[in-house]
Homo-oligomer: A and B are copies of this chain.
Amino acid sequence: MSSLDAKFARLGAENAPGQEVRQSADDLKSVMRGDTLPGVPVDFSHGDVDAFEPTPGARAAWEAGFEEGGSQAYTEYRGAAVIREDVAASLAAFTGAPVDPVDELIITPGTQGALFLALGATVDRGTKVAIMEPDYFANRKLVAFFGGEIIPVALHYHDDAPQRGPDLGQLEAAFKAGAEVLVFSTPNNPTGVVTPEDTITEIARLTAEHNVTVIVDQLYSRLRYSGESYTHMRACAKRPENLITIMGPSKTESLSGFRLGVAFGSAPLIDRMEKLQAIVSLRAAGYSQAALKTWFHEPEGWMETRIAQHEAIRDDLLKIFRDAGFPTACPQAGSYLFPELPELVVSPEDFVRLLRLQAGVTVTPGSEFSPHTHSSVRLNFSQDHAASVAAAHRIVEMVERYRA
Determine which of B12, B48, B272, B288 lies in contact with A70 in the assembled complex, contact meaning CB atoms within 8 Å.
B48
Determine which of B11, B257, B281 lies in contact with A287 in the assembled complex, contact meaning CB atoms within 8 Å.
B257
Residue numbers in B under 8 Å from A256 (CB-CB) = 73-74, 286
A: number of interface residues (CB 8 Å): 68
Select the stretch in A117-125, A196-204, A214-222, A348-356 that faces chain B. Answer: A117-125
Q: How far is the CA of A287 from the CA of B287 in the complex (A)?
A: 11
Known pairs A18-B74, A125-B125 / 4 extra A-B pairs, C-beta < 8 Å: A11-B275, A74-B256, A112-B281, A116-B279
Which of A53, A108, A110: most chain B CB closer than 10 A? Answer: A110
Determine which of B19, B62, B70, B121 lies in contact with A77 in the assembled complex, contact meaning CB atoms within 8 Å.
B19
Where the two chains meet, the residues of A that have a C-beta atom closer than 8 Å to any C-beta of B are 1, 3-4, 7-8, 11-13, 16-19, 21-22, 46, 48-50, 53-54, 59, 62-63, 65-66, 69-70, 72-77, 81, 108-110, 112-113, 116, 121-122, 124-125, 138, 141-142, 145, 180, 256-259, 272, 274-276, 278-288
A59 vs chain B, min Cβ distance (A): 6
Closest to A256 in B: B73
Given A50-B70, A69-B49, A70-B48, is A259 in contact with B285 using a C-beta cutoff of 8 Å?
yes
Closest to A112 in B: B282
Closest to A52 in B: B70
Closest to A181 in B: B1
Stoichiometry, as copies per complex, reads: 2
Q: How far is the CA of A66 from the CA of B121 in the complex (A)?
A: 33
Contact check, A282 vs B257: say whether CB atoms are below 8 A apart. Answer: no
Which of A54, A125, A274, A275: most chain B CB closer than 10 A? Answer: A275
Residue numbers in B under 8 Å from A124 (CB-CB) = 1, 3-4, 7
Residue numbers in B under 8 Å from A3 (CB-CB) = 124-125
Q: How far is the CA of A180 from the CA of B18 in the complex (A)?
A: 33
Which of A1, A13, A77, A282: most chain B CB closer than 10 A? Answer: A282
Q: List 9 A-B contacts (CB under 8 A).
A: A8-B276, A17-B74, A21-B76, A48-B70, A50-B69, A62-B66, A73-B257, A280-B281, A285-B285
Residue numbers in B under 8 Å from A180 (CB-CB) = 1
Contact check, A280 vs B113: say whether CB atoms are below 8 A apart. Answer: yes
Closest to A71 in B: B50
Contact check, B49 vs A279: say whether CB atoms are below 8 A apart. Answer: no
Contact check, B112 vs A279: say whether CB atoms are below 8 A apart. Answer: yes
Residue numbers in B under 8 Å from A138 (CB-CB) = 278-279
Determine which of B12, B76, B288 lies in contact with A19 in the assembled complex, contact meaning CB atoms within 8 Å.
B76
A217 vs chain B, min Cβ distance (A): 14
Determine which of B7, B109, B145, B272 lies in contact with A259 in the assembled complex, contact meaning CB atoms within 8 Å.
B109
Contact check, B272 vs A285: say whether CB atoms are below 8 A apart. Answer: no
Q: How far is the CA of A138 from the CA of B282 in the complex (A)?
A: 10
Contact check, A282 vs B110: say whether CB atoms are below 8 A apart. Answer: yes
Contact check, A275 vs B8: say whether CB atoms are below 8 A apart. Answer: yes
Q: How far is the CA of A128 from the CA of B63 in the complex (A)?
A: 45
Closest to A20 in B: B76
Closest to A139 in B: B279
A397 vs chain B, min Cβ distance (A): 26
Determine which of B21, B142, B259 lies in contact with A286 in the assembled complex, contact meaning CB atoms within 8 Å.
B259
Q: How far is the CA of A283 from the CA of B113 in the complex (A)?
A: 10
Contact check, B258 vs A287: say whether CB atoms are below 8 A apart. Answer: yes
